[in-house]
Structure 1
C-alpha cells in the first residue's frame, strides 16, 4: 500500500464532491437539476465568437508549440493596459504572468511566498481552492469572517487581531465566490492600512470584476502604491471560456517584492508555460467587443431577482442579494437541521436538485447554508425552487 502525504488528508472540493451522488442518481435514470457549478457554458451562455476566431487563427498560423513561460508578449501587454484602465499605476508587461487559469496563478504566488507553517488570512466563506493550497504547501490558512448581517463584508478589527508574526499575506476575493458580495472602497482602504502596518502581501482575486449588477468594483491595487499587491484574473468567467484555462497574475507595486516576483518567474519557467493558442484570445478579449457582458448581465439580473424572491419566500430560508457574479449563500434556519451537507444530499435524493453545502466553503460556527448558482434559465430555476419549497414544507413545516 502506497501512503499518500499526510498534509493532503483534509483537502476536499465540495463543489465537485457532491456531484458523485448526483451521477449515481443519474445512472439510475433520475433527471438532476444542477445548480452547483459556476460554469456558464453548462447553461445558455457561449464564448464570444471573436475569441474563438482568435484561437483558431493562432492554431492555423502555427502557434501550437511552447509559449514563453510568462506568456506571449501581446497578452502580457494587453493585461498591463487593462490594469491601467482599472486605475492601477505603473504596470508593465514584465509585471504580468499568464497562467493555466487563475487557480495556477494563485498557486504560483503562494508557493513562492510561503514557508511551511506560515499563515495566510483567508475569507470565510471562501473558495475551496484557497484552503486546498494551504494544505498542499503545509501552510496555515486562518479564516476571517465575512459578515452576513453586513452584506457579507469583512471586519477590519477581526483581521487585525488575527495577524501574528507568522502571518505573511491576506487573501481577498471581491467580487466574492460564494456570496456574490463586493467590498466597498472604504473597507479595502482599511484592509490595505492593516497590510501596510503589518507588512503583509495582499492577494486580490478579482476574477468576477466585470460581472456586476449595480455596485461598482474597485481594483484593490488602485488604492495603494506602498503595499505589495498581487491581483488575479482570467478569461473563465466574464469571457465565458472556463475550459481554456487562461488566467494571469499581476505584480502591483512590484518594486516592493523583487525577490517574490523573481521566485514566481522561476516557478513559471519550471512548468514551461500555460496553453499557447488560447493566449492569443487575451488581447481580443480585453480590448475587443464587450457586447456579451451587458447582455449576459441582463439575463443574470433577471435570474438573480427570481432567486432572491423565491428563496426569501420560503419559511426558514433567507439570502442576501448578491451584488455581482452568479452565486448566493442561502441561510438555513430550519428545525432539526444541524448539517447543511445532509440537507443538500437529502434534497438531491428526494427532489433531484443539486446545490453545494455551505460547510464546503466555511461558515460562521453554528450557522448552516447552501450555495446556489443561478446560471440556469428562469424556467429551470423556477422548477428547482418549486421543488426546494415543496421539500422544505413537507419536511420542516411546523
Structure 2
C-alpha cells in the first residue's frame, strides 16, 4: 500500500538513533543516553505545588474539554510573561497547544504552500525542516557563527528569494546553545520587514541562560509579524505533560493568520485541561527552582565543554543557553558524523546524535550531546569519549 511522499521525508534523528542503542543494550552493554533533551528523565522534577495543581484539577472534575484556545486564566498569565519580555499582547493573542511541536505544525501548515521556502538557522531543531517538508515547503539553512552566537546576515540576505515566506529563529538554540543578542534580533526583524516575511521565534529555553541576560524577540518586534512559540517542557520541567503555546504579536500583517490558525485548534478539539492548571501554577507559584536548575546545568556545561576541548580531534563552542553541546569533529577517522556517533555507541556505549541530523549543510561534521545527567555520569561519559577519540 502507498504512503505519501511527504511523510516518507520526515526524520527525527534525536529519537531515530535510539533504535541503534537498543541493539547495543541487547548485547549486554550499558548505554549512557546523552541524546534526548528531557530534564525530567535525569531527575529534575516539577515542584510539588505544580504536581498538586495537576492532581487537584483532576480531583475537582477538571477533566472535560477546555476551550480550543485554552484556559483563559493561563492565557492571561502567558501574556503577562511575554509582555515582560517585550511584546504588547493580551490573552486573545495566545493559543494553548499540546507542546511546542503542535504549535509549530499549526503555524507551518497555516503559511506554507507547495514550493514555499522557509529560512532555518543552521544547524536547526529537526522538526522545523520536517514540518516544512510535510506541508510541501523547502527548508533553507542560513549560517550562524557558533563561537560568537551571531547569525550571518549577508548569508540570510543572499538566500531570500521570491518564494521565501518566513524566517525561523530558535534562541536559545537547539542543538548549539547559541543565544542571539538584541542587535542580531533587530537586524533579523529588519530583514523580515523589508521582504514581507513572517518571523517565527522559538523561545522554549528562554530562562536557561548562563552568561548573559536573555533578550526575547518581543523587545525588538515593534509591530512586525512575529509569532512566538514557547512552552513548559524545559524551563518548567513538564516535558511529558505536553503543553506549549503560540503568541501572536500585535501586527496587522498577522490578521489573516490570527483568524484562520485557530480553526486548526478547533479541529483538534482542545489541549489537556488538567495540565493547563499545572502550567498556570508554574507561572504563578515560586520560581526559585528555575534558578537552582540553571545553576546545576551551568556546572554540567562547564565540565563538559572543558573536557571536550581537551580531547584530541574535537573542539566545542561554549553554549550560552539550553543544555546541549555541539562539538565539531576535527579529525574524523570514520568518514561521516553519523558513522562517528554509531561507532562511539557500539564501542563505548555513549549515545549522542549525529550533527547532520540537524541539517546537512551546517550540522555535518559535528555531534550533539545533552549535559543533563549528574556530574559523575557526565565525567564517566567524557572519559569514554576521550578514550574513543584517542
User: How high is the TM-score relative to the length of structure 2?
Assistant: 0.97
The CA distance in 1 between the partners of 2:334 and 2:229, in whole Å, is 37
Match of 1:257, SS? helix
* Correspondence for 1:176: 173
**Which of 187, 190, 204 is matched with 2:187 structurally?**
190
* C-alpha distance after superposition, 1:202-247 (max 9, x if no partner): 0000000011111221110221223100001111000111010000
Q: 1:255 to 1:365 in 2, by over 3 A?
A: closer
Please give the per-residue CA displacement for 1:324-350, whole angstroms capped at 9, x wherever unaligned. Answer: 110011100115342011011101010
Residue pair 2:208, 2:322 contacting (<8 A) in 1 also: yes
Alignment of 1:210-359 (within 5 A): 210-359=207-356
Tell me if structure 1 keeps the 8 A contact 2:7–2:134.
yes
Distance 2:279 2:10 in 1: 32
Question: For 2:250 and 2:339, how far apart are their aligned partners in 1?
Answer: 46
> Shift in Å at residue 8 of structure 1?
2.3
Superposition map of 1:36-185 within 5 A: 36-89=35-88, 91-148=89-146, 150-185=147-182
Q: Distance in 2 between matches of 1:43 and 1:257?
A: 39
Q: Write the distance in 1 (CA, Å) between the matches of 2:267 and 2:173.
A: 31
Assess if the C-alpha contact under 8 Å between 2:356 and 2:364 holds in 1.
Answer: no
1:396 match: none
What is the Cα deviation at residue 363 of structure 1? 4.9
Q: Is the 8 A contact 1:182 1:323 kept in 2?
A: yes
In 1, Cα distance between equivalents of 2:226 and 2:330: 38
Q: Matches of 1:86 and 1:280 in 2, distance apart?
A: 23
C-alpha distance in 1 between matches for 2:265 and 2:48? 30
CA drift at 1:283: 2.1
Structure 2 residue matching 1:12: 3-state secondary structure: coil
Q: Tell me, yes or no, if the aligned pair for 2:141 and 2:361 is still in contact at 8 Å.
A: no
Contact 2:45 2:237 (8 Å CA) reproduced: yes
Structure 2: gaps (5+ residues): none
Q: Which runs of 5+ in 1 are unaligned?
A: 394-398
Cα deviation, residue 120, structure 1? 0.9
Partner Cα distance (2:345, 2:226) in 1: 41
CA distance in structure 2 between the partners assigned to 1:116 and 1:77 by the alignment: 36
**1:338–1:368 contact (8 Å) kept in structure 2:** no
1:373 aligns with 2:349: no
The question of whether the paired residues in 2 share the 8 Å contact of 1:182 and 1:215 is answered with no
- Tell me the alpha carbon deviations over residues 329-387 of structure 1, each in whole angstroms, 9 at most, x when there is no partner: 11001153420110111010101111101010025469500001000001000110101
Aligned-pair CA distance for 1:282? 2.2
RMSD: 1.3
For 2:304 and 2:363, how far apart are their aligned partners in 1?
24
Alpha-carbon spacing, 1:285–1:317, altered in 2? closer, same or farther (3 Å): same
Aligned partner of residue 218 in structure 2, secondary structure: helix
Q: SS where residue 325 of structure 1 aligns?
A: coil
Q: Is the 8 A contact 1:78 1:282 kept in 2?
A: no
Q: Equivalents in 1 of 2:132, 2:184: separation in Å?
A: 25
2-structure distance, mates of 1:169, 1:344? 33
The equivalent residue for 2:10 is 11
Distance in 2 (CA, whole Å) between partners of 1:239 and 1:365 is 30
SS in 1 for 2:261: helix
Note the C-alpha offset of 1:104: 0.6
Contact 1:332 1:367 in 2 (8 A): no
- 3-state SS in 1 of match to 2:326: strand
